[in-house]
Amino acid sequence: MKGKLEEPVISAPKLDMKMAAEVERTLSPGADGGRQFDMDDFDILDAEQGADARSLELKGHVGFDSLPDQLVNKSVSGGFCFNILCVGETGVGKSTLMDTLFNTQFEDEPAAHDVPGVHLKSKTYEIQESNVRLKLNIVYTVGFGDQINKEDSYKPIVEYIDQQFENYLQEELKIKRGLHMYHDTRVHACLYFITPTGHSLKSLDLVTMKKLDSKVNIIPIIAKADTISKNELHKFKIKIMSELVSNGVQIYQFPTDDETVAELNATMNGHLPFAVVGSTDEVKVGNKMVRARVYPWGTVQVENENHCDFVKLREMLVRTNMEDLRETTHTRHYELFRRCRLEEMGFVDDDSDNKPFSLHETYEAKRVEHLNELQRKEEEMRQMFVVRVKEKEGELKEAEKELHAKFDQLKRQHSDEKKKLEEKKKMLEEEINLFNKKKQAAMAAQQQAQQAAASATQTIPKAHKKKA
């Protein structure tokens, strides 16, 4: 641990360190410089140990005043992370504002207007300043406000936020978990960009903010504020705030319980929503380079408090309340989500002694139930399958029989015809034989006839001779 050691203060005079004695009481002002304690201060020093708390005088320097340093050093070496969600219509200046806020070029191509639905695009960067490393995750909405039918525009945003909470919850519920190394992606701040119409909030804005206010810290800002004149701006802000209040939208209020920043935060709360102008172009004004937007009629300087509230936004978001935003997300929004989700899953807080059981037991019970359900369905499907198979088999058997029958029939037919043919063949052969015999007989007869004719001609000359 990289703590610093201090020299043991042996020679310190008897320091009169009176401290907060019994647990529930407020110190009289004057004893400790007039510090105000309220119940929240004693989150830890709560009621339960009232009987044992004693007032103690420390007789010397002990050294645990380095505890905050130890804590901070640990966190610094681990690095911080911060997740911002920018919700606003296309072209309202979200990426430019992020660039301006963090003094860098996060470089992005501008989004198109013809995206079919709303979706979210997230990018992660790491920035470092002195020894503080911050992992910054910026999520932009793409296509918000571009559709013709915007009824469902808020849904992807709510889903995204819920998904991050869900991931964290899953990690927290695991048996073997690594919460300390977990990359926290829960959205810590939502910058809602209001288009500078100058009249009032659009209904899309109201609906979206109403859906988001219990899930994330909303900081509404008026974008491209250089299109509104000062008077209009004042009226616009009042109108917006009154609409938010009348619709019951809970935006993030900067905390006023820490006396060092209470005053500042209270004033800032009165300036909401911040009217900002973003720009990454640098222009020479006077003898300094400042970020500004140049118009033919004048130059709007980003960091000039008379021109826009950018400095206020940066002060509040980054330099004063970043840690509070993270803490509120964890202790309020996440806890609400967790509670709803667990109740959804069927867990109930009973005051029995089996609390660790109840969570896991119910979880297990549900899982077993689900498994059983699945098994039952499997059985059903199996049964159905078997029945179908049988049916098919039956059908096939039938078909087989038919085929066999047909085959037999054909065979018979075939043999019948064969017989017939053979008979015919025999008959034909007999006829041929007969014919041949006849032929032979005929030929023999013819030969005889010829011979007879020949001998007759021979005898005639004989007869002639005789006569002569």
Partner 1 sequence: MSSQQGFTLSGKQFEALCAAFETADVQKRGSIDVQIVPKLVQDVLGSSLAPSEKDAIRLRAESKAKKGVLYFADFVEVMSETLQTTTQWGKLTTTLSGYVGIDTLQEQMRKKALKRGFEFHIMVVGGSGLGKSTLVNTLFKAQISRRSCTNESEGTIPKTVQIKSVSHVIEEKGVRLKLTVTDTPGFGDQINNENCWLPILEFINDQYEKYLSEEVNVSRKKHIPDTRVHVCLYFISPTGHSCRPLDLEFMKRLDKVVNIVPIIAKADTLTLEERYAFKKRVREDLEFHGIQFYPMKSLDEDEEETAINQALREKMPFAIVGSDREYQVNGKSVLGRKTKWGLIEVENKNHCEFALLRDMLIRTHMQDLKDVTDSIHYENFRRERLEMHSEFAGPTPPYHEMGESNL
x/- string (CB under 8 A) for partner 1, residues 152-191?
-----------x-----------xxx-xxxxx-x------
Nearest C-alpha neighbor of 360 from the set 184, 164, 172, 186 = 172
Q: Per the structure block, which two tokens stand in for 37?
A: 């304690």
Residues binding partner 1: number (CB under 8 A): 124
- Rama region for 132: left / alpha / beta (φ>0; ψ in -120 to 50; rest): beta
As measured in angstroms, the least distance from the Cβ of 293 to partner 1 is 17
Q: Which residue has the tokens 């096939």?
A: 396
Contacts of 291 (CB under 8 A, 6+ apart): 100, 279, 280, 281, 282, 283, 301, 302, 303
Task: Using CB under 8 A, pick the residue from 31, 39, 48, 464 that binds partner 1.
Answer: 48
As measured in angstroms, the least distance from the Cβ of 176 to partner 1 is 6
List strand residue ranges (DSSP E) for 286-322, in order: 288-295, 298-301
Q: Kindly state whether residue 28 participates in binding partner 1, applying the rule CB under 8 A.
A: no
As measured in angstroms, the least distance from the Cβ of 45 to partner 1 is 6
- Work out the number of other CB atoms within 10 angstroms of the CB of residue 136: 19
x/- string (CB under 8 A) for partner 1, residues 337-376?
-xx--xx---xxx-----xxxxxxx--xx-xx-xx--x--
Task: Using CB under 8 A, pick the residue from 25, 29, 113, 124 that binds partner 1.
Answer: 124
Pairing mode, strands 298-301 and 274-275: unpaired
**Cα distances (Å, whole numbers) of residue 308 to 223, 271, 277, 281:** 10, 11, 6, 16
Q: Which is nearer to partner 1, 377 or 419 (CB)?
A: 377
- Please confirm whether the linkage preceding 110 is cis (ω < 30° from 0): no
Task: Using CB under 8 A, pick the residue from 26, 36, 126, 409 that binds partner 1.
Answer: 126
As measured in angstroms, the least distance from the Cβ of 380 to partner 1 is 11
Q: Kindly state whether residue 5 participates in binding partner 1, applying the rule CB under 8 A.
A: yes
Report the run of H or E that residue 453 belongs to, with start and end: helix 355-467
- Which 3 state secondary structure label does DSSP give 417? helix
Please, what's the largest Cα pairwise distance for the chain? 203
Residues 283 and 3: their CA atoms lie apart, in Å, by 45
Task: Using CB under 8 A, pick the residue from 16, 52, 114, 151 that binds partner 1.
Answer: 52
Nearest C-alpha neighbor of 86 from the set 125, 133, 121, 124 = 121
Q: Kindly state whether residue 132 participates in binding partner 1, applying the rule CB under 8 A.
A: yes
Q: Kindly state whether residue 29 participates in binding partner 1, applying the rule CB under 8 A.
A: no
Determine contact, residues 86/24, Cβ cutoff 8 Å: no
Q: Kindly state whether residue 285 participates in binding partner 1, applying the rule CB under 8 A.
A: no
Binding range to partner 1, per CB under 8 A, among 11-19, 209-217, 246-254, 270-278: 11-19
Nearest C-alpha neighbor of 153 from the set 186, 112, 120, 111 = 120
As measured in angstroms, the least distance from the Cβ of 26 to partner 1 is 14
Task: Using CB under 8 A, pick the residue from 212, 313, 324, 329 that binds partner 1.
Answer: 324
As measured in angstroms, the least distance from the Cβ of 223 to partner 1 is 20
As measured in angstroms, the least distance from the Cβ of 195 to partner 1 is 24
Binding range to partner 1, per CB under 8 A, among 118-126, 193-201, 431-439, 460-468: 118-126
Contacts (CB under 8 A) with partner 1, residues 403-462 = none
Q: Which is nearer to partner 1, 48 or 114 (CB)?
A: 48
Residues 291 and 311: their CA atoms lie apart, in Å, by 12
As measured in angstroms, the least distance from the Cβ of 226 to partner 1 is 21
- Which 3 state secondary structure label does DSSP give 235? helix
Task: Using CB under 8 A, pick the residue from 98, 111, 120, 313 that binds partner 1.
Answer: 120
As measured in angstroms, the least distance from the Cβ of 130 to partner 1 is 5
Report the run of H or E that residue 82 belongs to, with start and end: strand 80-87
Q: Kindly state whether residue 321 participates in binding partner 1, applying the rule CB under 8 A.
A: yes
Contacts (CB under 8 A) with partner 1, residues 69-108 = 69-72, 74-76, 78-81, 101-104, 106-108
